[in-house]
Structure 1
């Protein structure tokens, strides 16, 4: 083999590293980033104002009432937590399956998971009457000898979400260490070299470092994959384990898991398209990646649609009067807009993804992802309200309307999402250069063989 043939891949490796590390070191559009960051800070300020009002006056400022004592806060909790699931699926599951196309998407998908799970985790704490005592959920030998009820899905929720957050953080940080070292080595300013150097934990790229990194990275991925199923399955048991009509269904665990992946892939597609355009990553996030994201979105969407059908079939087959009443109320009642909004936003634009040209078209894929994200919010709202506002007793019926502070907290929570994500985009490598180069090396080895 000629020397030029050997040098060409090495030059490509250097170009990839340079292209990815230039983003945190020499951001291409600082003005645009500052505008977006300023808007995100305003949203964050809205969150702090809403949380202050909530803590000062109590949860009575929300629209929660009897019988709808679970309202917008818990539906948003499930919605945010579902969004985060795609990051783990793209990163951990595809890493174990050795699917190299994930390498252009996994880093920002993992970051999305972290901020989405953080937003979700704040909601149950804010929902408590005394949020500063949330640690009572943890099993520790306290002086009051109060222990959590381990048979309650609420306790499972605490452990599942906390474990998911910690494992996701560990998985993300392990993966980014080699790229932090590459950024450190290319930084010109001393402060940047020190900060990236501390974050890189002394990484030097030795064979021993790479071996340990591979072991820890894949081990953490193997731990993270079951969490995707367990977290949303136990959230579904918050509903399915009770006698409430419309909730008591064995289809809920797979239904919730698939719906979470569905909404998560939609958000990943939107983020991939946005970063691809803003950061000019056209050679790293290619039309092939958009095509694959479109296929994943279509697949999980059809599985979620099957969950809708199975839920309706179960109710009609069982013939239980209260369940039939809840189903008809969802279809034609006061909150039918949430059910039909979920159906139309989730599954009508989705059918365009059968066409390859639509899957590869950034604008069309972005709009379909946005529609799915809105539709999945409708679904979470519908599942909560339509089952609670008309219970078994007519005397306990009551309407639910979110208050101004419900909505302002939701808007503010978007600030909790966007502020750290924008900081990640600005100051850290958004794509894994080391994993892309590893995939290129393996492809070169296969061609030579």
Structure 2
């Protein structure tokens, strides 16, 4: 959205009507970052406690090795890689919502872009960290850059994740610059440390015409760049599985399958964040019922697309029923993994479609419940992508300990996983405390245009 700025004049000189008017003051007061209340401090305390437990579990893993996990010769990718795929998926839609909405000029999506950007940055940070955890020894991550071979899909994944991370950070940072100027204009609302931080990252921003042209051009370049990068990161992640010759992974459908699932879980995460921030910060005027209704329609569409790819993924091998895949499919549909499988399908796709087809289902509270269902179902779906396949290799298991035939994460694995999930929420919480959740400058400009 184009800023209402007069050439070569700073923001404080060109927006007094918005900043000093009653309506402008109300918008700024509503959207400036708020200090944590009692509930916020309890929330942060819980997240920090979970993270500390996860760090202790990781200390044990570093000290004693991966033997503290229940991963063995067959299930060498366990809950950590499931979590990695989940984080990569949940980060996709954040950047894509921002990029597509900005490029297409979708004005109703403006209040959602920063929420999506925060989710994207937090998700990709912990996707990177959980890979280091899975490697066992942290220095192996350094060796990937030092001795990596371009023939390996793992190196492709490292390259696109690193690229995606920097683009996501920049896509969060550039649109923040006009808001940082407003934050510095209202120093009394922030602590001295925060004001120093704002000055460090944004004091150069004067809001001149030239700066706005450069910023808008940079944002447009990032929006165009991040779309193929976002698609690539999920395609390459799917290739890590598809190029590994195992039942259930030997599929040309995996790239589109992963992307469709990432769109769905990312949209679900944005819906959950919309509801939580709306309630916590009383943003009903800015995140309206109409936003939930529109996002509900998007989630229905994405659920239908992902359901199609799931049918496509399982119907063909089920029809052929090759001997190598028989055990895997039986285990998924009627065996030990069946409860989790049907829970993920019903909770993550079918029930959301049924609920959101009705207008009442697209109200804020039902949408929040559906968003939680989609996110939870998506996490279990990633678990099912990894574990059942590894327990059904092409060569049947012979003369192995009974523990190798089953996999259930150890408490250390659960603690690290929960710590990473809590860490993601903590990063989003801290970003929401430091920066405006809804872009202030864009909201002021929209109010100014509406008034005109």
For the 8 Å contact 2:54–2:412, the answer to whether it is kept is no
For the 8 Å contact 2:327–2:392, the answer to whether it is kept is no
Q: Distance in 1 between matches of 2:289 and 2:200?
A: 36
Report whether the alignment pairs 1:44 with 2:46. Answer: no
Shift of 1:133: 3.1
Q: Distance in 2 between matches of 1:381 and 1:194?
A: 43
Change (3 A) 1:440 1:255: farther
Instruction: Using the TM superposition, name which of 63-72 and 126-135 deviates more.
Output: 126-135
Q: Distance in 1 between matches of 2:422 and 2:62?
A: 19
Cα deviation, 1:410-432, whole Å, max 9, x if unaligned, reads 11112311222221122221111
Q: Distance in 2 between matches of 1:32 and 1:8?
A: 32
Aligned match of 2:358: 355
Aligned match of 1:401: 408
Aligned match of 1:297: 299
Aligned match of 1:183: 183
Shift of 1:30: 1.7
Cα deviation, 1:265-314, whole Å, max 9, x if unaligned, reads 11111111010011000110001111111111111111110011101222
Report whether the alignment pairs 1:254 with 2:256. Answer: yes
Q: Distance in 1 between matches of 2:366 and 2:448?
A: 33
Q: Superposed, which structure 2 residues align to 1:128-277 within 5 Å?
A: 128-138=135-145, 140=146, 147-188=147-188, 191=192, 192-277=194-279
Shift of 1:198: 2.1
For the 8 Å contact 1:338–1:381, the answer to whether it is kept is no
Instruction: Using the TM superposition, name which of 338-347 and 250-259 deviates more.
Output: 338-347
Change (3 A) 1:129 1:347: closer
For the 8 Å contact 1:40–1:419, the answer to whether it is kept is yes
Unaligned runs of 5+ in 2: 1-16, 399-403
Shift of 1:262: 0.6
Choose which of 371, 377, 380 in structure 2 pairs with 1:378: 380
For the 8 Å contact 2:18–2:25, the answer to whether it is kept is no
Shift of 1:440: 4.4
For the 8 Å contact 1:125–1:131, the answer to whether it is kept is yes
Instruction: Please report the TM-score for the alignment, with normalisation by the length of structure 2.
Output: 0.90
Q: Distance in 2 between matches of 1:405 and 1:319?
A: 37
For the 8 Å contact 2:98–2:116, the answer to whether it is kept is yes
RMSD: 2.1
Cα deviation, 1:52-108, whole Å, max 9, x if unaligned, reads 011001111111012111101100111111111121121112111111122101112
Cα deviation, 1:107-127, whole Å, max 9, x if unaligned, reads 121111111111111111111
Shift of 1:148: 1.6
Report whether the alignment pairs 1:17 with 2:20. Answer: no
Report whether the alignment pairs 1:65 with 2:76. Answer: no
User: Residue 346 of structure 2 aligns to a residue in which SS?
Assistant: helix
Equivalent pairs counted in the alignment come to: 428
Q: Distance in 1 between matches of 2:396 and 2:226?
A: 45
Choose which of 104, 113, 118 in structure 2 pairs with 1:111: 118
Q: Superposed, which structure 2 residues align to 1:22-101 within 5 Å?
A: 23-24=33-34, 27=35, 30-101=37-108
Q: Distance in 1 between matches of 2:216 and 2:447?
A: 17
Q: Distance in 2 between matches of 1:134 and 1:427?
A: 31
Cα deviation, 1:357-402, whole Å, max 9, x if unaligned, reads 2112x22111111111111111111111111102122225721111
Aligned match of 1:3: none
User: Residue 405 of structure 2 aligns to a residue in which SS?
Assistant: coil
Cα deviation, 1:217-267, whole Å, max 9, x if unaligned, reads 111111111122111111000111122111111111011011011111111
Change (3 A) 1:14 1:208: farther
Shift of 1:319: 4.5
Aligned match of 1:369: 371
Instruction: Please report the TM-score for the alignment, with normalisation by the length of structure 1.
Output: 0.90
Change (3 A) 1:177 1:53: same
Unaligned runs of 5+ in 1: 1-6, 141-146
For the 8 Å contact 1:44–1:419, the answer to whether it is kept is no
For the 8 Å contact 1:294–1:353, the answer to whether it is kept is yes
Q: Distance in 1 between matches of 2:61 and 2:450?
A: 56
Aligned match of 1:144: none
